[in-house]
């Protein structure tokens, strides 16, 4: 049987989705054959995981996701599949593409290697703090907008402490229907990542400022580079 190459057709997508909905994923080579698709098992697997899965997220990588990718990459390097496990709905291929088209591109424009100390300093002392600032500004703006139309909701946590939430909507609620999850354009940080985010804000940002003041080479090299300020805004 001659295998097909190139882009998938709508009919092929339908056949693959219909087969998996009835039989599950299983072994991809046998799945391709049993479904009657003239594609390799690898092609079927990538098509399903990267495009056809119901929980695959669409749209640009959010600020919160960017921050998490930078943090997890510093811990695990190019282990894209492992990083993707912490970003629900994002594929390892999508995360890898973000790293190559955004992070590596910035390193190239700064004329340094992505693994060099200079670029790691850029990430730590400029990029990550700037992301944190933008996330905070976005949350303040959203909270102000929501408070105009919604009354605070009072909840109780496990310790019977009162918690006030300014609004509960699909955009900021941790509970949403499956149909909302498939179209949502936000990222819900899990508990461990939220704790890291709060710890970073509380402790590391002050350390960054002190290290910058103590290291004139880092400060001068990066602040005198006109490109870095425009890059951080995109």
Question: Could you report the per-residue pLDDT of 31-84, keeping only the tens digit for each?
Answer: 989 999 999 999 999 899 888 988 888 888 899 999 999 999 989 999 999 999
Q: Is the pLDDT of residue 170 over 90?
A: no
Span 182-203, average pLDDT: 42
36: left (phi > 0), else alpha (psi -120 to 50), else beta? left
DSSP summary character for residue 21: H
Of 67, 71, 96, nearest in space to 84 by CA: 96
Question: Which of 57-61, 94-98, 130-134, 223-227 shows the lowest per-residue confidence on average (mean pLDDT)?
Answer: 223-227
CATH number listed for the domain at residues 10-52: 1.10.10.60
Q: Which residues pair with 105 in a beta bridge?
A: none
pLDDT at 187: 36
Q: Which helix (H) or strand (E) holds 155?
A: strand 153-156
Integer-rounded Cα Rg, in Å, for the chain is 22
Is the entire prediction scored with pTM above 0.85? no
CB-CB contact of 135 with 63 (8 Å): yes
pLDDT at 195 exceeding the cut of 70? no
Question: Does residue 160 have a pLDDT over 90?
Answer: no
C-alpha distances (whole Å) from 1 to each of 4, 32, 37, 211 are: 9, 12, 10, 63
For 156, phi and psi rounded to 5 degrees? Answer: -120, 135
Distance CA 38, CA 121 (A): 49
d(CA 7, CA 204): 47
pLDDT score recorded for residue 57 = 85
Cα separation, 192 vs 140, in Å, equals 22
Q: What is residue 151's DSSP assignment? A: -
The span from the CA of 22 to the CA of 32, in Å, is 14
> How does DSSP classify residue 54?
T
Q: Where in the chain is the domain with CATH 1.10.10.60?
A: 10-52
Q: What's the confidence (pLDDT) of residue 234?
A: 55
Cα dihedral 25, 26, 27, 32 sign: negative
Q: Would you report the helix, strand and coil content of the chain in percent, each value rounded to 5?
A: 60, 5, 35
pLDDT tens per residue across span 84-102: 999 988 998 899 999 999 9
The mean per-residue pLDDT over the stretch 192-209 comes to: 46
């Amino acid at each position: 049987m001659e295998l097909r190459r190139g882009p998938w057709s709508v009919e092929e997508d339908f056949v693959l989705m219909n087969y998996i909905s009835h039989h599950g994923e299983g072994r991809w080579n046998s799945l391709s054959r049993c479904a009657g698709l003239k594609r390799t098992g690898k092609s079927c697997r990538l098509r399903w995981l990267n495009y056809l899965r119901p929980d695959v997220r669409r749209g640009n990588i959010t600020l919160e996701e960017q921050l998490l990718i930078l943090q997890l990459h510093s811990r695990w390097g190019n282990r894209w599949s492992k990083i993707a496990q912490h970003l629900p709905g994002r594929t390892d291929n999508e995360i890898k593409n973000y790293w190559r088209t955004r992070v590596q591109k910035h390193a190239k424009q700064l004329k340094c290697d992505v693994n060099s100390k200079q670029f790691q300093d850029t990430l730590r002392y400029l990029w990550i703090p700037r992301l944190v600032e933008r996330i905070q500004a976005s949350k303040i703006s959203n909270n102000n907008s929501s408070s105009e139309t919604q009354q605070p909701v009072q909840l109780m946590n496990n310790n019977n402490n009162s918690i006030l939430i300014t609004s509960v909507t699909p955009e900021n609620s941790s509970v949403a229907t499956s149909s909302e999850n498939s179209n949502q354009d936000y990222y819900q940080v899990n508990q461990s990542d939220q704790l890291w985010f709060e710890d970073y804000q509380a402790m590391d940002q002050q350390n960054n400022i002190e290290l910058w003041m103590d290291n004139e080479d880092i400060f001068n090299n990066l602040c005198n580079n006109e490109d870095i300020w425009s890059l951080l805004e995109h």
